[in-house]
Structure 1
Amino acid sequence: MTRADSRNSHTRYGRWRGDRRLLGILVALLLLAGGGYAAFGLRGGASKEPDPQVTAAQKPLTAFLAAWAAHDARKAAGYTDTPDNAASLLTSVLTNLKPSETTIAPGDGRRKDDGEVHFPFSVAMTVPGAGDVTWSSRARVLRTSGVWKVEFTSPMIHPELRPGQTLALKSGGGRAMVLDKNGDPLRADSLVGTVDPVSGKGASGLEARYDEMLSGGGKAAKSLVVADRQSGRALKSLTATPPAEGRPVRTTIDPRIQKAAADAVTGVDDNAAVVAIDPRDGHILAAVNRPGGLNRALEGRYPPGSTFKVVTTAALLKGGTRPSDAAACPKFARVNGQRFENQGQFELPAGSTFTDVFAQSCNTYFVNARSRLSGTDLRDTARAFGIGGSWDVGTTTYDGSVPATTSDNDKAAATIGQARVQTSPLVMASIAATVKNGAFEQPLLVPDAVKKKFTAPTALDAAVTRQLQELMRATVTSGSAHALKDLPGRPHAKTGTAEFGTATPPSTHAWMIGYQGDSDLAWAVLLEDGGSGGADAGPVAARFLRNLAR
């Protein structure tokens, strides 16, 4: 190499070293503009002069990205053409994701023929629960009235976003499922409940009660999703769904029986509930609510009406009444000026027996029989059916209330399931199950979660149980539950029409409870404000049992 070659080479190296030092200073200055913000590249190297319009457009974008990277949504929005919209979406994204660190790396700007300048950029966030998430996007910078502004659009924040949407986290894939007795996903929305689509936490039903178990203690990994800003519903996954870390919750629901019950109330206009129980162990085989929302099947509180006559009859039988005893059933019964009547003001002919008044559900007989009962007899007899205890079922339930009566009128109304007597469909299905089984078995929905089952403090006498079974069968073969008369399985039942409210005439809930003589199934049907137990609840019960027989 000649001396001249050496001198020229040294000059080129020195110039490049100076250019590189200058570039380093520019990078440092731009990095100081905001946390996690990376500098623009210089297109064409040091030998090409930058486009003055690109340079001018670069300034507001630099400030916008730097403020975004610093998690200052309001400041970033100030560099856009619609600050309020930009602040709203950026605040939503930062609030939902709560990134611990954000780095935004911009690319080279390009001026279009219409004067707009387009800049690509990439975003990298460290998001608790989701790890590192990245995406690429593109911004447009416009000159309006001599001022350069970043054009704000939802896709500029993330290319998959559309107006009315935001970025959020979802725990769905990392969450275990609520299962039926077969180990398959439980298809009973009112039991399963819901999961908040943004927080990933259980919001209602079993999802809420067993949130920690299903979510793995709240430590389940989350995925990045596009979500509707109004409802919070996840619309599209942007990252892979994480594997499940929680443990499933297994219930006792039998999917075949659950479907038969659900199909039975399809098309019913009234709010309805159906509960089915295995009398041997109390396992809840079906719990249907129509419509969803309130779990009226397990938690609802209602007067049971004449279905409660099973309990009243148990008290009377224990006191010496026999099914063959003569029993008067007039149209009306009066207690201290209060008139009680039979539905439709029917009366039974002379010579009727206790079996007849039970099967036909004669209110006036039971009201007039109150003198054979003490103020605590109904409460104490109800305890043999588990009412009055606190049940550990594995979910929230209403376990019924039968208080001691405080007056003659209170006792009269209580004998026919009115006044202060309150039960749920679950309680009424359990009453039928107790008659079938001969002893109370506390209902169960999630056996693994139950610490101690409630045990009834008293038991039904075996002779009383046999007589109740005969009376409930007679109600089907010759009484008010005739809607079940021709069905297989030897159904036993009791109807109920329960008054409520202050309307004249009173509104009524329609009830029917029962069990199958040839199989291990007890059940209850309720139609809110549904009319008559025999005429309205009866056909629903018949459809349920017919569905099971197919």
Structure 2
Amino acid sequence: MTQGIQFPRGRRSARRRPVLGILVAVAIVAGAGYWVYNARGDDGDAEVAAATERVEGFLAAWEAGDAGEAASYTDAPGAAESLIDSVLTNLKPTETEIAVDGVAERVEGEVKVPFRVEMRIPGVGEYAWNSSAVARKEKDGGWEVEFTTPTVHPEMKHGQTLALQSRERAKILDSTGAELQASSLTGAVDPESGKGVSGLQRRYDEQLTGGGGGAKSVVVADRDSGRAVKRLGEEKGDRGEPVETTIDPSVQVAAAEALEGVDKKAAIVAVAPSSGRILAAANVPGGMNRALTGRYAPGSTFKVVTTAALLKAGMRPEDVANCPEFAHVNGQRFENQDRFTLPAGSTFKDSFADSCNTFFVNARDEVSNSALQDTARTFGIGGVWDVGAVTFDGAVPVPGNENEKAASMIGQARVEASPLVMASVAATVKEGEFKQPVLVPDVVKEKHEAPEALDPAVAADLRTMMRATVTEGAGVELRGVPGRPHAKTGTAEFGSEDPPRTHAWMIGFQGDRDLAWAVLLEDGGSGGADAGPIAAKFLQNLGRPA
């Protein structure tokens, strides 16, 4: 004959167990008295109530994370404390709730009490199971919990415990199918939760994990060897799928090695002009992916866009272009770096190659107020790029006044770009039309398209002038570098100090291969003198195409 008393869940106040090692005071006595009163009041079976009270004490101490206290309610305190401590140590639950769940049954002097364990486990999420404890009446009239390994979890046998096993997370791959070695792109995974917290790991967390919501699974493990013998519960989600990127490992390594030893924040981006595929994105230090998301004044590298606007307006590279020491606009003085000048008879091509600010400031009347923004759109700037990663896609506002227009002509004022944007500017010159950069092709739904391609004559003139920057102008550091590099230097002022601090830029493309690039050195000085050597090292690392 069996007797049963229903103990609904929720009567005992829920007790939460915080991170292991911090004990929480639990009002066991008050709770137990409440249960005894109700048991007696329900059907008068005082023995079932007393046995359940003993189990309740065991469960409450376990819930509170006190393995020793829980073990004191059992007939095998040493074994109970060891196993419960092992389970709590292995699973490290941040929250635990354990409560009687169902009908307590009395059979031949013993009382079987069902209970449910619910835990929140880092890397797993919510995990729960049902079990039962048997209480036996002792000679002195008291009750004691008969402890066995299945009491903790019914799927366990003697010599086993519960543990965590990492779910296999799919890889982020480069263009060759190997695991991508670019930490500022891939980002990081939280070791506790197993979730991606930055970069591609965060953006594609569901794809990489299979959508299971956790990076770990609860398993039954052998206590001696630690080997998992059984996975518990259903595997949530599907198997993770890798994320395939366009990064060329040889180009990425060349970029990363070019930044070794650089003590400033810096970035190198390389793209394929024919397709827009991003071949490299390297950053120092790691962390922020300034190569794709940085917002900077591009300085004189923006003169590629300004020059395109001037060429479209009718200027020719061979036109005479005065390059005085200063240019004045409504009381504001503009000057060239180190206040250099060019001799009389110098041309537009010379002013571009040597990066003469005063010529470009004085040429502002040759183009309309909206010309820079309109021309920038030809280079894809101002659109929203669907790259497969977070990017800053540049900004070229219509200037609000004459002084802002003058500053915009040389890539200052409110003009902003990322290294990716400026690498794409160089790529557009080489290709003759904008091809939106792409990093993760499989997820790109709609590439941004420029309203028009570069005029072929404008593109040809820009290529000539960018080559002259290397052979005759400020890109002297690239002379003798293989690949027939074409370039534009840039020194961009920022901040309010006097004299202002500067970012160093160099952008360009290779004449003998499908590659365009940008180098940024934050607070780095001069484009030619400081960014130039880094660009040269990058291109020398690449060598000649096979």
Q: Return the TM-score normalized by structure 2.
A: 0.73
- The 1:125/1:216 distance shift into structure 2, 3 A limit, reads farther
The aligned counterpart of 1:207 is: 201
The aligned counterpart of 2:324 is: 330
Q: Which amino acid aligns with 2:177?
A: G
The aligned counterpart of 2:403 is: 409
Q: Secondary structure at the match of 1:274?
A: strand
- Say whether 1:523 aligns with 2:523: no
Q: Secondary structure at the match of 2:387?
A: coil
1:489 to 483, 487, 500: 483
2:467 to 473, 488, 498: 473
The aligned counterpart of 1:271 is: 265
State the distance in 1 between where 2:184 and 2:520 align.
16
Please show how residues 269-418 of structure 1 align to structure 2 within 5 Å.
Answer: 269-418=263-412
The aligned counterpart of 2:248 is: 254
1:505 to 499, 505, 525: 499
- Report how far residue 207 of structure 1 moved: 1.1
How high is the sequence identity, in percent, across the aligned residues?
58
CA contact (8 A) 2:196 2:202 kept: yes
- Report how far residue 120 of structure 1 moved: 9.9
Q: Secondary structure at the match of 2:94?
A: helix
The aligned counterpart of 2:60 is: 67
The aligned counterpart of 1:51 is: none
CA contact (8 A) 1:99 1:125 kept: no
State the distance in 2 between where 1:237 and 1:270 align.
46
State the distance in 2 between where 1:339 and 1:441 align.
38
State the distance in 1 between where 2:268 and 2:155 align.
48
- The superposition leaves residues 72-102 of structure 1 with CA deviations (integer Å, 9 ceiling, x where unpaired) of 447986999xxxxx9x987637454344137
Q: Secondary structure at the match of 1:194?
A: coil
Q: Secondary structure at the match of 1:174?
A: coil
Q: Secondary structure at the match of 1:344?
A: helix
- The 1:418/1:93 distance shift into structure 2, 3 A limit, reads same
Q: Secondary structure at the match of 2:374?
A: helix
Q: Which amino acid aligns with 1:66?
A: L
CA contact (8 A) 2:59 2:70 kept: no
CA contact (8 A) 1:481 1:538 kept: yes
Q: Secondary structure at the match of 2:283?
A: strand
State the distance in 1 between where 2:47 and 2:227 align.
35
- The 1:223/1:135 distance shift into structure 2, 3 A limit, reads farther
Please show how residues 99-110 of structure 1 align to structure 2 within 5 Å.
Answer: 99-101=127-129
- The 1:403/1:31 distance shift into structure 2, 3 A limit, reads same
CA contact (8 A) 1:318 1:464 kept: yes
The aligned counterpart of 1:92 is: 94
CA contact (8 A) 1:170 1:197 kept: no
- Report how far residue 134 of structure 1 moved: 7.7
Q: Alpha carbon RMSD of aligned pairs, Å?
A: 3.3
State the distance in 2 between where 1:123 and 1:528 align.
62
State the distance in 1 between where 2:290 and 2:150 align.
49
Structure 2 residues not aligned, in runs of 5+: 1-45, 73-84, 97-118, 135-145, 220-224
- Report how far residue 404 of structure 1 moved: 0.8
Q: Which amino acid aligns with 1:302?
A: Y
The aligned counterpart of 1:546 is: 540
- Report how far residue 300 of structure 1 moved: 0.5
The aligned counterpart of 2:54 is: 33
Q: Which amino acid aligns with 1:33?
A: R
State the distance in 1 between where 2:392 and 2:191 align.
29
State the distance in 2 between where 1:214 and 1:369 align.
52
The aligned counterpart of 1:437 is: 431
2:180 to 166, 178, 186: 186
- The 1:294/1:29 distance shift into structure 2, 3 A limit, reads same
The aligned counterpart of 1:458 is: 452
CA contact (8 A) 2:190 2:196 kept: yes
- The 1:135/1:93 distance shift into structure 2, 3 A limit, reads farther
- Report how far residue 528 of structure 1 moved: 0.6
CA contact (8 A) 1:403 1:421 kept: yes
State the distance in 2 between where 1:135 and 1:498 align.
70
Q: Which amino acid aligns with 1:34?
A: V
Q: Which amino acid aligns with 2:54?
A: A
CA contact (8 A) 1:299 1:396 kept: yes
- The superposition leaves residues 337-367 of structure 1 with CA deviations (integer Å, 9 ceiling, x where unpaired) of 0010100111111111111100000000000
Q: Secondary structure at the match of 2:202?
A: helix
- The 1:170/1:382 distance shift into structure 2, 3 A limit, reads farther
- The 1:237/1:475 distance shift into structure 2, 3 A limit, reads farther
- Report how far residue 468 of structure 1 moved: 0.1
State the distance in 2 between where 1:179 and 1:133 align.
39
Structure 1 residues not aligned, in runs of 5+: 1-24, 36-62, 81-85, 107-118, 138-157, 159-166, 226-235
- Report the number of matched residues: 436
- The 1:476/1:121 distance shift into structure 2, 3 A limit, reads farther
State the distance in 1 between where 2:272 and 2:156 align.
50
- Report how far residue 448 of structure 1 moved: 0.5
- The superposition leaves residues 216-260 of structure 1 with CA deviations (integer Å, 9 ceiling, x where unpaired) of 1225672459xxxxxxxxxx9874898981111100001110010
State the distance in 2 between where 1:369 and 1:123 align.
85
State the distance in 1 between where 2:190 and 2:407 align.
44
State the distance in 1 between where 2:306 and 2:171 align.
42
State the distance in 1 between where 2:504 and 2:335 align.
17
State the distance in 2 between where 1:134 and 1:264 align.
57
Q: Which amino acid aligns with 2:55?
A: G
Name the larger-Rg structure: 1
Q: Return the TM-score normalized by structure 1.
A: 0.73
